């Protein structure tokens, strides 16, 4: 009789539907209430060729037009140029104090300059600041030649990193953004490398907020007017050629929410600045971003069959953020979906379920859940016990 009661208790314990549990939001316990959502108007209408507004943490696009249209990026190219240099620095292939010999090609390159001189040596740090703050084409060529031997070889590096980052509609032929028929990108793609720069290299990214830089006794101002107009803006890069028009990638952080806007093909400097600020203000005014769960931390424990242990901690591989209309946080619903027959062996990092994030009945995103530890197969006794339990 005692054995029967024990098995019955185990049946009740393990027969609960682990495949669809509702989870509480991190740090939130209030009951749902009627939506207090602020009506969201259409995004601002902008007189530009292409634009995009995206949340940095959740990756949600809040506004876009022609975001995948191939366009000349002009000096927005230098976001990718700088990113490649950052990667080389992180890999230990060069250092900021390294002295770069300036070639005649670098000195002769037209367009914006930091005014380096042929035959002189300039530190990688000064060249990077000249590239980022002054938008120096001469700095871009000098860095490209120093790293890859030639600007053409460096462009191959740029394309390799672009492919790795998922920039499917970009191709680079130079480090400066000077016009070339095979040199193009999109608003969506340039937002990807901007996000990677902010995420991977916050220390170097801070240089995008510097308002001026002095080299060779010449002081030049950053062309990003938003650095003076909005204290929350800390980057990123302007660009202009006759064919590309006026372009600007801007990023700003307010109360822990970071938005990045991309404007391409505006008719003037003031137009691109106003369009970028209009997008940023629209996003901050009508949306909010929340971190729901940290990455690589358990949010639930699942029953494992036939394993050396019976419990498996699971969680998302990366931090989970969600961007939603303001005042709708308590309308979020989280569903955990897993396999009730989850069996060993299980390798840490393998996908064992998913989270469904829903707002007022609309699914916003599905996030894979991964095993946070290995679970090896259990012994014969454990397998025999689990075999009996699964019969019920």
Does residue 10 carry a pLDDT above 90? no
Cα gap 356→367, rounded to integer Å? 7
What pLDDT is recorded for position 277?
98
Cα gap 28→330, rounded to integer Å? 8
Instruction: Note if 276 is an active site residue.
Output: no
Cα gap 148→138, rounded to integer Å? 16
Alpha carbon separation from 262 to 155, 170, 190, 209, 374 (Å, rounded): 22, 15, 8, 16, 43
What pLDDT is recorded for position 389?
77
CB within 8 A of 10, min separation 6: which ones? 389, 392
202: enclosing H helix or E strand: helix 202-205
Largest CA distance in the chain: 94
Residues 196-231 have pLDDT tens digits of 999 999 999 999 999 999 999 999 999 999 999 999
Choosing from 135, 170, 251, 261, which is the catalytic residue? 135
Cα gap 113→107, rounded to integer Å? 9
**Mean pLDDT, residues 251-258 taken together:** 97
Cα gap 73→65, rounded to integer Å? 16
Confidence of residue 43 (pLDDT cuts 50, 70, 90): very high
Does residue 8 carry a pLDDT above 80? no
**Mean pLDDT, residues 63-72 taken together:** 98
Q: For residue 41, with 0-12 CB atoms within 10 Å meaning exposed, 13-18 middle and 19 or more buried, which class applies?
A: exposed
**Mean pLDDT, residues 18-32 taken together:** 41
Confidence of residue 386 (pLDDT cuts 50, 70, 90): low
Question: How distant is the alpha carbon of residue 73 from its chain centre?
Answer: 20
CATH topology of domain 7-26+294-391: Peptidoglycan synthesis regulatory factor (PBP3), Domain 2 (2.60.410)
- Whose tokens are 């699914």? That residue is 363
**Mean pLDDT, residues 259-277 taken together:** 97
Following DSSP, what letter does each residue of 280-349 receive, concatenated? HHHHHHHEEEEEEE-TTS-SEEEE-BSBSSSEEEEE-SS-EEEEEETT-GGGEEEEEEE-TT-BS-B-TT
For a pLDDT cut of 70, what percent of the chain falls above it?
Answer: 90
Does residue 244 carry a pLDDT above 50? yes
Does residue 154 carry a pLDDT above 60? yes
- CATH 3.40.710.10 in the chain is located at 50-290
Cα gap 84→93, rounded to integer Å? 11
Residues 340-356 have pLDDT tens digits of 889 889 999 999 999 99
- CATH 2.60.410.10 in the chain is located at 7-26+294-391
What pLDDT is recorded for position 34?
46
Cα gap 257→263, rounded to integer Å? 20
Instruction: Note if 2 is an active site residue.
Output: no
Average pLDDT, the chain: 90
Give the predicted TM-score (pTM) of the model.
0.88
Choosing from 75, 170, 251, 261, which is the catalytic residue? 75
What pLDDT is recorded for position 379?
80
What pLDDT is recorded for position 32?
41
Residues 286-337 have pLDDT tens digits of 999 999 999 999 999 999 888 899 899 999 999 999 999 999 999 999 999 9
Choosing from 49, 78, 113, 129, which is the catalytic residue? 78
Residue with the larger pLDDT of the pair 163 and 5: 163
What pLDDT is recorded for position 296?
95
CATH topology of domain 50-290: Beta-lactamase (3.40.710)
What is the DSSP secondary structure assignment for residue 43, as one 8-state letter? P
């Amino acid at each position: 009789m005692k054995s029967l009661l024990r098995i019955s208790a185990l049946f009740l314990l393990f027969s609960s539907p682990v495949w669809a549990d509702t989870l509480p939001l991190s740090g939130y316990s209030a009951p749902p209430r009627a939506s207090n959502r602020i009506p969201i108007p259409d995004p601002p209408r902008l007189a530009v060729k292409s634009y995009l507004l995206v949340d940095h943490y959740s990756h949600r696009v809040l506004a876009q037009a022609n975001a995948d249209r191939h366009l000349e990026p002009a000096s927005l190219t230098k976001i990718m140029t700088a990113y490649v240099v950052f990667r080389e620095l992180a890999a230990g292939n060069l250092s900021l104090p390294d002295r770069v010999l300036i070639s005649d090609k670098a000195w002769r390159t037209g367009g914006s300059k930091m005014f380096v001189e042929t035959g002189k040596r300039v530190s990688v740090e000064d060249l990077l600041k000249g590239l980022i703050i002054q938008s120096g084409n001469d700095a871009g060529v000098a860095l490209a030649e120093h790293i890859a031997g030639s600007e053409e070889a460096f462009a191959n590096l740029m394309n390799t990193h672009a492919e790795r980052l998922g920039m499917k509609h970009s191709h680079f032929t130079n480090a400066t953004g000077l016009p070339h028929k095979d040199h193009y990108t999109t608003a969506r793609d340039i937002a990807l490398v901007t996000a990677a720069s902010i995420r991977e290299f916050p220390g170097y990214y801070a240089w995008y907020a510097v308002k001026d830089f002095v080299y060779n006794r010449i002081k030049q101002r950053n062309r990003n007017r938003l650095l003076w107009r909005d204290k929350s803006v800390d980057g990123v890069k302007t660009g202009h050629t006759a064919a590309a028009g006026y372009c600007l990638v801007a990023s700003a952080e307010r109360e822990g929410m970071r938005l990045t806007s991309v404007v391409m093909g505006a008719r003037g400097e003031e137009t691109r600045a106003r369009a970028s600020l209009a997008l940023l203000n629209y996003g901050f005014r009508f949306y909010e971003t929340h971190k729901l769960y940290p990455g690589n931390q358990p949010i639930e424990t699942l029953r494992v069959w036939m394993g050396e242990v019976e419990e498996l901690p699971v969680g998302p591989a990366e931090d989970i953020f969600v961007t939603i209309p303001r005042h709708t946080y308590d309308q979020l619903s989280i569903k955990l979906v897993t396999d009730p027959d989850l069996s060993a062996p299980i390798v840490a990092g393998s996908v064992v379920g998913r989270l469904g994030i829903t707002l007022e009945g609309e699914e916003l995103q599905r996030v894979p859940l991964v095993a946070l530890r290995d679970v090896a197969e259990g012994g014969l006794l454990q397998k025999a016990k689990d075999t009996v339990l699964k019969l019920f």
